[in-house]
Amino acid sequence: MLGLYLHRDSPVHAFPVGWKLAALAVAATGLFFVASPVAIGAALAGTLLLFALARLPLGAILGQIRPLLPVLVLLFAVQAAFVGWETGAATAGRLALLVLLASLVTLTTRASDMIDALERGLGWLRPLGVNAGKVSLMLALTIRLIPVLLDLVQEIRMAQRARGVERSALALLVPLLVKTMRMADHLSDALEARGYDPR
Amino acid sequence: MIELRNVRHRYGEREVLRGIDLTLAERRVAIVGSNGSGKSTLARLLNGLLLPDEGRVLVDGLDTRGDARAVRRKVGFVFQDPDVQIVYPTVAEDIAFGLKNLRLPRDEIARRVDAVMARFGLTEHRDWPAHRLSGGQKQLLAIASVLVLDPAYVVFDEPTTLLDLRNRRRIAGVIRNLPQTALLISHDLDLVAEAERVIVLDEGRVVADDAPAAAIANYVARMG
Ligand SMILES: Nc1ncnc2c1ncn2[C@@H]1O[C@H](COP(=O)(O)OP(=O)(O)OP(=O)(O)O)[C@@H](O)[C@H]1O
Ligand SMILES: [Mg+2]
């Protein structure tokens, strides 16, 4: 879901970043006050319309939802069995809507713009000791490092499987920790070498 | 010109550099040596990432102990693993990072980022997530992110170790054509042979300092 910006000329892309983030926050909160499956269905349809307006390919939408599908089905099934299908549909719909809206924002907003918006948005907290520059760099690094860490996990798993170690949390955790710490060391060197100066 | 004057460095009790005296004025200098001989430590001393325990390191007369910030602007650094030097999620953003740290105006940042992307064939990948680039492209990005800052010297610490043959050649080509003064640490002897001067380190000392053919022969003999 992260770092997947797709460039298009669209009003959704051009919409100011700060407002996009604010709208996402409002929508995500508001969702929990909506219980009617019909209303949630309408919101879903509206969101899909926004995807179309943003000229994003159907594949982009499916790509966001696919990993979630088992969870959605399970949520629906459990709630439908114990509470009723309306509740089940509403819960599953809400989660789908949340992921779609968040994806819509990440797909149509450059991470750097989001980070800049955050930096500006947090500027007023400076007197309270919040360093907006640091927060935004941390966010950028997090987005950047998620795929790197996932690769690392894969690599360690593979190396262990090759030596006959099957899934063991400890066997994964220890080398992961060691490697991550070494990575953090190198990263801080790299930040420093490129003139980063936290202030 | 970079000068090291009787430089010593230790990690804890262990002395890793034991009195290095060097004056580096050539456009292409390479450093070779076995694992743990102190090459990376030496490299990190050149731009003030590490400060010597004894002795001095001078870059165009500036002591790394004094104005570390000014020294870092002069000496760019490319590390072995591009994954730990790319800090922003996408190509153009990452190149812009160092320029933002210099607090340059937005339009100048944009102009310089565009120019360097064009130079390294990264323009079509400008909004790509860095993790979708190939290993060679990632290293190109790491190099571009350093060169965009226009350093007078570039230190490369094993820039091709993780790359396949084709990408190794590509990066070698980039280094060959750099207008800057380059200091190259590498185990790739073909690449090292292109330097004007080759320094061999062993257990924290300079044991050979010569033209490539002679220095490499010395190094290979030591290894054997
Ligand atoms: N941060 C550190 N703390 C403690 N010891 C270190 C540290 N960095 C390096 N060393 C040790 O110092 C010695 C020299 O390390 P250095 O990285 O400079 O060698 P190198 O010549 O670059 O080796 P390689 O070819 O493996 O990259 C090694 O024995 C290493 O284990
Ligand atoms: Mg090294």
What domains lie within chain B, and their CATH numbers? Answer: 2-222 (3.40.50.300)
Enumerate the domain spans of chain A: 11-109, 126-193
- The yes-or-no verdict on residue B89 having pLDDT over 70 is yes
- Percentage of the residues of chain B whose pLDDT score is greater than 90: 73
In a mutagenesis test of the B interface, which of A108, A137, A141, A144 is the best target, namely the one with the most B β-carbons within 10 Å? A144
Burial A108-146 (b: 16+ CB within 10 A, else e): bbbbbbbbbbbbebbeeeeeeeeebbebbbebbbebbbe
Residues B112, A127: Cα–Cα separation, whole Å: 34
Q: Is A143 on the interface with B (CB under 8 A)?
A: yes
pTM of the entire structure? 0.77
**Residue A81: per-residue pLDDT:** 87
Least confident of A14-28, A153-167, B85-99: A153-167
Q: Which of B7, B15, B39 to mutate to test the pocket of ligand 1 (most atoms within 8 A of CB)?
A: B39
Q: Residues A174-196: pLDDT tens digits?
A: 888 888 888 888 888 888 888 88
Chain A positions in Cβ-Cβ contact with residue B97 (cut-off 8 Å): 194, 196
**Residue B7: per-residue pLDDT:** 96
- The yes-or-no verdict on residue A155 having pLDDT over 90 is no
Residues B46, B59: Cα–Cα separation, whole Å: 8
Q: Which two tokens stand for residue B31?
A: 């450093």
β-bridge pairing B75-78 and B181-185? unpaired
Chain A positions in Cβ-Cβ contact with residue B129 (cut-off 8 Å): 3-5, 147
DSSP-derived secondary structure for A139-157 = HHHHHHHHHHHHHHHHHHH
φ/ψ of B178, rounded to 5, equals -65, 135
Contact B93 A186 (CB under 8 A): no
Residues B128, B79: Cα–Cα separation, whole Å: 21
The better pLDDT of the pair A82, B116 is held by B116
What number of CA atoms fall less than 13 Å from residue A23's CA on the CB side? 12
Contact B149 A195 (CB under 8 A): yes
How open is the CA angle B44-B159-A179, to the nearest 5 degrees?
70
Q: Which of B15, B37, B222 to mutate to test the pocket of ligand 1 (most atoms within 8 A of CB)?
A: B37
Q: Residues B103-151: pLDDT tens digits?
A: 899 999 999 999 999 988 899 998 888 888 988 899 999 999 999 999 9
- The yes-or-no verdict on residue B176 having pLDDT over 80 is yes
Contact B88 A140 (CB under 8 A): yes
Contact A144 B88 (CB under 8 A): yes
Q: Identify which of B133, B145, B42 has the alpha carbon closest to the alpha carbon of residue B85.
A: B145
Give mean pLDDT, residues B161-188. 90
All residues with CB under 5 Å from ion ligand 2:
B 40
- The yes-or-no verdict on residue A2 having pLDDT over 50 is no
**Residue A69: per-residue pLDDT:** 86
Residues A46, B93: Cα–Cα separation, whole Å: 32
- The yes-or-no verdict on residue A1 having pLDDT over 60 is no
Count of C-beta atoms within a 10 Å radius of residue B214: 13
- The yes-or-no verdict on residue B65 having pLDDT over 60 is yes
Type of residue found at B198: V
- The yes-or-no verdict on residue B156 having pLDDT over 50 is yes
**Residue A199: per-residue pLDDT:** 63
- The yes-or-no verdict on residue A74 having pLDDT over 70 is yes
Per-chain mean pLDDT for chain A: 83
φ/ψ of B216, rounded to 5, equals -65, -40
Residues A162, A164: Cα–Cα separation, whole Å: 5
